[in-house]
Structure 1
Amino acid sequence: MTGTGDAYRQGVVGDGRPAGAGWVVTARGELDQDTLTPLEEALLSAADRYPLVVLDAGAITFGDSSFLNLLLRLHHLTVLRIAAPGEQLRRLFAVTGADTVLSLHASVEDALGA
């Protein structure tokens, strides 16, 4: 799965890697409707193949409502855990109530062990 081409060259999706029965997708930068497609492709591909998907969100600097919508849709397709969300994402999740639905973890290791 690491060779999904454009999704990894676009800049918002870093490496993907297997982790036990799951897959870790690393994202970075600003995620909005104009930049979200590569991450969406990577996450949906992982959800098709693995029972657990961990989003390493530690390098995401901004996420908008389209990003939040993607996470909520993915939450219904697989076990989704979000690791290391920064302050902006934590505020987004808290203000929208998504923090009561999404599984948030301090680190990738915590998310994998949960």
Structure 2
Amino acid sequence: MPWSEDETVASALLTAPSRKLVPGQSTGDASRQDLVIQYECCGAQVVEACGDYDMNSIGPLADALKTATETHPKVILDASRVTFADSTFLNLVILIHQTGKLRVAAPSERVRRLCTITGVDGVLQIRETVDDAVAS
């Protein structure tokens, strides 16, 4: 999903060793910082989702997960820092799960509850830590 020209470019260019930061879609709330952090771990691509995910902010996460499934044999979604997730997030996770490459690691209480209520926890490969997900 392309970023608008008026967004702060600095946040899009942040890079740490072996971690790529991708800003969330602008919501007009400068205090909200939704990020997707990507890095490789033992041959798996880890995609760390941080913040709120709904139909207005899912784009960067969807792009990161799609790219990860195209380039890596195993994809780990670290959901420990997800503060809000709705059906848009759940739909994305299910679609990526269908590739056979996805593991969900350390889901936040909100993500865990969403998966439990919908019954998706019996379908997804959910692990307690990123290390457990990489090893599975």
Q: Which residue of 2 aligns with 1:8?
A: 22
User: RCO (CA 8 Å, sep 6+): is it higher in 1 or 2?
Assistant: 1
| Bigger helix share | 1
Distance 1:84 1:23 in 2: 15
* Offset from partner CA, 1:31-83 (integer Å, 9 cap, x none): 11110000000000000011100011111011100100000000112411111
Q: Which runs of 5+ in 2 are unaligned?
A: 1-11, 14-20, 25-32
Cα distance, 1:21 vs. partner?
2.4
Structure of larger gyration radius: 2
Divergent runs of 4+, >2 A? 9-15
Partner of residue 93 from structure 1, selected from 102, 106, 115 = 115
Aligned residues: 110
Matched residues in 2 for 1:20 and 1:78: separation? 18
3-state DSSP class of the match of 2:115? helix
Task: Note the residue ranges of structure 1 that are not aligned, 5 or more in a row.
Answer: none
Identity of aligned residues (%): 37
Task: Give the alignment of 1:1-114 within 5 angstroms.
Answer: 8-10=22-24, 11-114=33-136
SS of the residue corresponding to residue 112 of structure 2 reads helix
Name the SS for the 1:8 alignment partner: strand
Q: Alpha-carbon deviations, 1:1-53, whole Å to 9, x = none? A: xxxx6870224333211112210011111111110000000000000011100
Q: CA deviation at 1:86?
A: 1.3
Measured on the aligned residues, the alpha-carbon RMSD in Å equals 1.6
Q: Contact between 1:13 and 1:25, CA under 8 Å: does it hold in 2?
A: no
Query: Normalization by structure 1: what TM-score?
Result: 0.89
